[in-house]
Amino acid sequence: MELITICKTDRKLKGEISLPSSKSISNRVLIIRALSKKNFNIRNLSRADDTKLMQSLLDKIEYQKNISEAVELNCENAGTVMRFLTAYLSNKPGKWLLTGTERMKQRPIGILADVLRQIGVNINYVEKKGYPPILIEGSELTGGKIEIDAGVSSQFITALLLIAPALSGGLEITLINKISSLSYIEMTIKLMEYFGIKINHSGNAIAVKQQEYREADFNVEPDWTSASYWYEMAAFADEVDLTITGLKKESLQGDSVLPEIFKKLGVRTEFLNEGIRLYKDNIPSDFFEYDFTNFPDLAQSVIVTCAGLNISGKFTGLESLCIKETDRLTALQTELKKIGINTKITSNSELITLNSKQQTVNSKPINTYGDHRMAMAFAPLALLSGSIQIENPEVVSKSYPGFWEDLKKFGFKNLLSTV
């Protein structure tokens, strides 16, 4: 196992940084390009592992001819890849076996599979009902009217939306229950509209008629979620003058809500023509409350920020964290305890009450559980303690491959060792 020790001898954060491209946008646009059957240019495509995997598997699918046996596609632990391809391959003639890591086999797919069955897809569970691996017999589908539970994962809805224009007769979707991660559904709709698709979205009803994606070159935005770790560092630093290039107030990404959140945590954002600039602002209060229903990928950064600042908090809308790369709720509780922070999680995983005590980063390394966001959310604590150890640092390549190198540009020293 590899271990990285991150050291920072001062609490200054000054300079300029360029963030990686959004993998959420990149993966959606790759599916759109595959569905369009047009080879338009995607500029600034993410270099994250998940996007490389999506591109590789789409290429493998495209090369298959005269399929007689099931083609195995390993989605590893990439949720968007598994879910988007489940829908995409349902409308692609052939036999397809979608599998992944042991963790992926614990992440649900049943809600999406059951809805696809309603419109005629033959999907079978290879091991455990409701979970990967799954065997899909794809064919050209006829759409219709469907209902889907929107409270588990927005990726199920996005997967259906992306293929909807390619279905005979289109698709009418009714969303049932509280909608999880609405901002990601809105991102999908805006991207589809950019590529010429007309969508009727009213409340919990979304209707997409049969139509064709237009050919149009596309430029992928920098990733707002990756900015959350830099906001966290700004909250911990004593002196801050940080420019993050490329980020815009008008963004496809819901996580562009970061300036609003961190204003309450002592970080001020100035929007510039070339990006944003961060400064220290008012002293935050001793209690923070936030609903992450629409922004679950920001939860770890914000919760660890509150822990580092000794701010007690009540955090809701965290239900989907249990089915991410790891059970992020349990992982947060375990790792925060190592720095002296006690947490309480309700039985239905709907909220965390964070009771903060003076944190002491001890010699115990932070376990990442194979989760890129765990590594990057805890790394900024080095600004407070002088150093922190992170296990399996390579996990950041899932979304932000250059994270550790970017830290070096701001005076962090990263010592890699094998244990």
Instruction: Give per-residue pLDDT as tens, 298-334.
Output: 999 999 999 999 888 888 888 877 767 778 888 988 9
- Residue 140: closest CA among 171, 168, 98: 168
Q: Which residues pair with 315 in a beta bridge?
A: 290, 352
Return the residue matching tokens 């209902």: 147
Are the C-beta atoms of residues 138 and 163 closer than 8 Å to each other? no
- Domain enclosing residue 162, as ranges: 23-219
Do 178 and 69 sit in the same domain of this protein? yes
Do 172 and 298 sit in the same domain of this protein? no
Do 233 and 210 sit in the same domain of this protein? no
Number of domains making up the chain: 2
Do 212 and 318 sit in the same domain of this protein? no
Do 79 and 214 sit in the same domain of this protein? yes
Catalytic residue among 49, 50, 255, 297: 297
Domain stop point among 219, 236, 253: 219
Domain stop point among 219, 244, 272: 219
Q: Determine the pLDDT at residue 286.
A: 84
| CATH number of the domain to which 124 belongs | 3.65.10.10
Q: pTM of the full predicted structure?
A: 0.93
Residues in the chain: 419
Do 200 and 265 sit in the same domain of this protein? no
- The verdict on whether 327 is a catalytic residue reads no
Q: Determine the pLDDT at residue 363.
A: 62
Q: Determine the pLDDT at residue 313.
A: 86
State the Cα–Cα distance between residues 386 and 281, nearest whole angstrom: 23
Do 123 and 184 sit in the same domain of this protein? yes
Mark residue 35 as left, alpha or beta (left: phi above 0; alpha: psi -120 to 50; beta: remaining). Answer: alpha
Query: Low-confidence residues of the chain, pLDDT below 70?
Result: 323, 347-351, 353-363, 419
Tally of CB atoms within 10 A around 379:
26
